[in-house]
Chain A
Amino acid sequence: MATKKAVNKQTPKKGTRKAAEVKLVTVYIMGKGYRVPADATIMGAIEYAGYQMKRGAGCREGFCGACATVYRLPGDYKIYTGLACTTLVEEGMWLSQLPATPAHKSLYDINKIKPDVATIQMLYPEVFRCVACNTCTKACPQDLEVMDYIQAAKRGDIEAVMDLSFDCVMCGLCAIRCPAEIVQFNVGLLAKRLYGKYLAPKSPELEKRIKELKKRKYDKEYNELMSAKKDELKKKYYDRDME
């Protein structure tokens, strides 16, 4: 991979691979061909080719969704989708990044909406245009059941939307492929917030602890710890019991 091959100075030195030994493939980055290492990720390949990325790169570990990419392979009519940071290159791959997806987000006050189907109707009415074609699910680089959660949204099953969309990285690939022009990832986020705020059972322990803190129950213990000498603190620390 073309990211900085950081050689850890405390580990046995890594075998320096000579250029000739590295197996290369040809990929077409936005139409222009480059020879890149066969085991590179798409992001690694783009940087190996010499691009300084500004858009299309974020966490680089599959969590942020900055690096949505579409590609085709030789002899294959299909459009494929993936995250550039976690998808490997293939011989003849023709790729283009989609670092931002034009997508609307409804504005709302989370304190003034309810966790039900009426909220979905009000904020994302296009959800009801879903034709159940499953293209969103096929496009998802996280392998989520996107269509199923959109169907759940139509039923007002907020918990199911939360559960099925939990691992969404909001890369936008579902929305850009959707023939019904739904912005699935924003529907998923709305449902998660509705679930967390309104439907998740509340923890009595948490409420109790917050009340204790408001009554300043721990002030005395804090003052003792904060004024303790380092040796006393050390003793307390190493003597403490473990759960």
Chain B
Amino acid sequence: MYPEYMQDSLKKVVASRNRRFEVAKSGKPVFPPMTADEREEVLTKFHPDYKQEARRKVRLGPNKGESITTEVADMLESHSRIKPDMFDLDNPDYETDLLIVGGGGAGCAAAIVAMQNGVKSIISTKLRLGDANSMMSQGGMQAAVKPQDSPTRHYLDAIGGGHFDNKPDLVRALTEDGPEVVKWLEDLGVVWDKLEDASLQALHGGGTSRKRMLSARDYTGAIIMRTLMDEVRNNPKKISVLEFMPTVELIMDGRGRCAGGILYNIETEEYFVVKAKATIIATGGYGRLHIRGFDTTNHYGATGDGLIMAYRAGAKLMYMDSVQYHPTGSVFPEQIAGFLITEKIRGAGGQPLNKFGELFVFPREPRDVESSAIIRECVERNNGIITPSGRVGVWLDSPLIEMLQGDGYINKQFPAMHRQFIRYGIDITTEPMLIYPSLHYQNGGIEINERCESNIPGLYVAGEASGGVHGRNRLMGNSVLDYNVFGRRSGYHAAEYAKNVKLGRPTLAHILAYEKELKEAGIKTDLIAPILLPSYTPEVVRKRQLTAHYEGTLR
């Protein structure tokens, strides 16, 4: 239920709705899309990445001297959890062809394809299998399957949305594999939204020039993730799943090749040595670092673990100066602050409105542009609505969708969103939502090529942990596609590599070297990474946690 003081503004939303409906129905743009110059201006003035403190130079490692997101630089300038001398690497606890770090969409897709290519794998995952951002994507997956669309048009949309910084080979792989991925997932049993003539339902997303967003109601990620998980679980002899056992460091051989990892049981606090011929990092993103203090749409374990362990081993990062804020995170009620409100809402005709009930931006700009425009409307123009706890946001008019698409459309297409709000007495079929940008996605990551190879032989990367695919801004629906396309590719190429490689003696010398480099750079820090889990313990409790010699686990 919205508080009394918001009712005036809500009335203005209702008052303008019929007029906005007529324009939307006419098929003309409901608000003029921005030109290149206008985009540039709103980004540099209002996107959080452009604030002075948002970036700093990292002082060691392969990207030394490069300006990157401050919180990421802090994480890279950290100590390891382990003392390398304490490990007997010659007597590993597990031996496998392929170690997959991360049990989300990319990790599961990689394990399935590796299995189909005759290679066994271990999936090491911090929480449960499928506890990943993959599970949470609601709106959909882009793939150019419509006759009026083409994979090359998808390429142009993606590279323009990424400000032309994307690596061309990766964008080609992403867009060219798209249709095949749709079929592969359907053959595994994913239930896509279809029209009456059996064709796939496709909607617009931010930055798409053709309707290309395929979906499974608004549980798209959940349906795909659970299908992939089920397939993994159906094959326990070929894929071993180690839950609550994240990988915390990589193991190398004497010739600079990746040779497995050190795993940590977060419940018993034991460490395990895994020897593997090839390793895939599929650890996802870093939303739980709460960059610039933002709330996040990300799952509990999204702490960027893969970045730091690969970086210590010498892997190069790319575009780590760029953070994605999803334009529409929830800001009211307080209990769901930061939660994702799918872009499919705008794809279906939902409109962002200021406190006067008026549009101030084209609803489907690329995400960074849309977010910046919302921040401008609230911060510079003071046209936002303040919540009782002091947050600010703008309306996202969902009832308009029912007018455009027909009664019952929201219940059918957005069951998760409807459920999320009805719990708090807000019916999104008749009332708008209050939204503000929320920390959503790690645009950059470990640099890969179209075979998912990093610069370290035997180390592959797929999904959000990788960098280059999306340039400095990812479009909606390209991350679900990304983890499928590159999950599959990494599984295939890592399997082929694992069949032939002969590894040398395992070593953790790179950990010692990194510690030395920290010291030489004069970096003093008590941060230990991978961070594994964020802490939400209140200050008052922390002040009483006074154990003198507390070792192990997370704190």
Contacts and interface: CB of A to CB of B under 8 A. Distances in A.
A222 B155 contact: yes
B389 A196 contact: no
A129 interface: no
Contacts of A66: 127-128, 131
A203 B200 contact: yes
Contact of B436 (A3, A8, A194, A226): A8
A125 B366 CA distance: 50
A193 B180 contact: no
A221 to B, nearest CB: 4
A114 B493 CA distance: 33
B148 to A, nearest CB: 6
A213 B154 CA distance: 14
B183 A6 contact: no
A143 B130 CA distance: 23
Interface in A4-52: 4, 6-15, 17, 19, 39-41, 44, 47-52
Contacts of A86: 335-336, 420, 423
A166 B217 contact: yes
Nearest to B33: A242
Interface stretch (A73-81, A103-111, A149-157, A175-183): A103-111
Contact of A44 (B29, B36, B335): B335
B152 interface: yes
A10 B159 CA distance: 29
B145 A209 contact: yes
A60 B533 CA distance: 13
B219 A167 contact: yes
B190 interface: yes
Interface stretch (B203-211, B396-404, B501-509): B203-211
B20 interface: no
B153 interface: yes
Interface range on chain A: under 10, 10 to 19, 20 to 34, or 35 or more? 35 or more
Central interface residue in A6, A189, A208, A233, by most chain B CB within 10 Å: A6
B209 to A, nearest CB: 5
A242 B249 CA distance: 47
Contacts, number: 264
Contact of A11 (B194, B210, B336, B379): B379
B529 interface: no
A109 B115 CA distance: 14
Contacts of A4: 290, 295, 534, 536
A222 B172 contact: yes
Contacts of B339: 61
Contact of B150 (A1, A10, A15, A221): A221
A113 to B, nearest CB: 11
Size category, B interface:
35 or more
Contact of A47 (B149, B423, B536): B536
B131 A59 contact: yes
A58 B555 contact: no
Q: B48, B230, B378: which has the most chain A beta carbons within 10 Å? A: B230
A39 B156 contact: no
A204 B197 CA distance: 9
Interface string B141-180: 0001111111111011101100010001100100010011
B230 A189 contact: yes
B533 A52 contact: yes
Interface in A202-235: 202-210, 213, 218, 221-222, 225-226, 230, 233-234
Interface in B285-335: 290, 292-297, 299-300, 334-335
A3 B339 CA distance: 12
A118 B159 CA distance: 49
Contact of B555 (A39, A52, A64, A234): A52
Contact of B152 (A40, A57, A225): A225
Nearest to B390: A14
Interface stretch (B64-72, B89-97, B220-228, B517-525): B220-228
B186 interface: yes
B230 A205 contact: no
Given A50-B541, A167-B415, A242 B179 contact: no
A122 interface: no
B26 interface: no
B186 A196 contact: yes
Given A202-B198, A210-B180, A50 B538 contact: yes
Contacts of A48: 538
Contacts of A238: 35-36, 160
Interface string B261-305: 000001100000000000000000000001011111101100000
A54 B436 CA distance: 29
Contacts of A92: none
Contact of B536 (A3, A196, A203, A210): A3
B188 A240 contact: no
A197 B416 contact: no
B536 A10 contact: no
B526 to A, nearest CB: 18
Q: Which 7 A-B pairs have the closest CB atoms?
A: A193-B189, A14-B390, A201-B198, A237-B160, A50-B541, A196-B189, A221-B152
Given A58-B128, A100-B128, 18 more contacts: A19-B540, A39-B334, A52-B554, A58-B127, A86-B335, A86-B423, A88-B335, A110-B234, A197-B188, A201-B198, A205-B145, A225-B168, A237-B156, A237-B160, A238-B160, A240-B157, A242-B209, A243-B210
Interface of A: 1-4, 6-15, 17, 19, 39-41, 44, 47-55, 57-64, 66, 86, 88, 100, 105, 107-110, 142-143, 162, 166-167, 169-170, 189, 192-197, 200-210, 213, 218, 221-222, 225-226, 230, 233-234, 236-238, 240-243
Interface of B: 29, 35-36, 46, 48, 51, 127-128, 130-131, 135-136, 144-153, 155-157, 159-160, 164, 168-169, 172, 176, 179-180, 182-183, 186-192, 194, 198-200, 204, 209-211, 216-217, 219, 221-223, 226-227, 230-231, 233-236, 244, 266-267, 290, 292-297, 299-300, 334-340, 375, 378-379, 386, 389-392, 415-416, 419-420, 423, 436, 533-538, 540-541, 545, 554-555
